[in-house]
Amino acid sequence: MNTHALPRAAALVDARYLRWLARLDDPDGGAAAPLSRERIADTFQHVLARAGLRVHLLRTYWYTEVDDQAVVDDQALRLVPAADADGNALVRQMAADLQALAASGRIDTVLIASDDDRLCAPMEAAKMAGLTVCLLADERAESMPRLMQQDPNWARLLREADRRLVMRASDLAQTLGPGSGGAPSAPAMRDEDLEATMQSVVNAWWEAVPQEERESLRDELPALRGVPPEVDRELLLRGKNALNRSLNFHEKRVLREHARRVAME
């Protein structure tokens, strides 16, 4: 089959999100094993086809803070600052690339691997320009009502997509890991237990915040996506003490969302 006669697609991949989705975060906070990029294009091609999208994946844009020195055909490495904790630089670069792809007229479908809801507006613009926009997710996307309660920002982004392409975390880990499937991950907490633990951590932190600092924080939070760095450090330390280990990507996000919710009440 002449694949170049098929509609063309591109993939925009946040490596940190992909690592979290595959449950490959290091629970002890050490240096995580590098992700393998060699098989990701074939994996995306398969998941697109499984969703009924017969396309030719022209190129993958890989956004990461670490240059793995790998040379992979049909991939473009996009380095973002290591200090980009709030993902501002990554979102700007990804949005600019999405806009350029839409304007070029050479791409019909775009697959995005990210959970940043600030991409909603760029995605909507791409859809208006005629692109089919797909988002990569795990099994949680199969129960949207529950996800809307547990992680409303991610659910909002997923709902913005034309298609939600679901991959099991274990399958994704096998694709990304070096041979055996990557570094071992921490046993996953039940969602209810995680919510309760993070709420308890936040309540204890909030009770210790002086009244004048509470007012200052309420004024500052609307302009931020997360929480101020000094607050974040304290929350992460409290969370680490509560779990007796470093928090993974998802646990950090739940903790910050609870903190914002409590502070804005």
User: Topology of domain 3-176, per CATH?
Assistant: Rossmann fold (3.40.50)
What is the C-alpha to C-alpha distance for residues 220 and 214, in angstroms, rounded to an integer?
10
Threshold 0.85, pTM exceeds = no
Measured CA to CA in angstroms, residue 140 lies from 5, 99, 197 at distances of: 34, 28, 20
**pLDDT score, position 3:** 55
Mean pLDDT, rounded, for 35-50: 90
Q: What local confidence, expressed as pLDDT, does residue 156 receive?
A: 92
pLDDT at 60 over 90: yes
What residue ranges do the domains of the chain occupy? 3-176, 191-264
pLDDT: is 190 or 255 the higher one? 255
Contacting residues for 182 by C-beta, under 8 A, at least 6 apart:
22, 24, 33, 35, 173, 174, 176
What does pLDDT average to over the chain? 86
**Rounded Cα distance, 77 and 68, in Å:** 9
Asked if pLDDT for residue 184 goes beyond 80, the answer is no
Amino acid identity for residue 263 in this structure: A
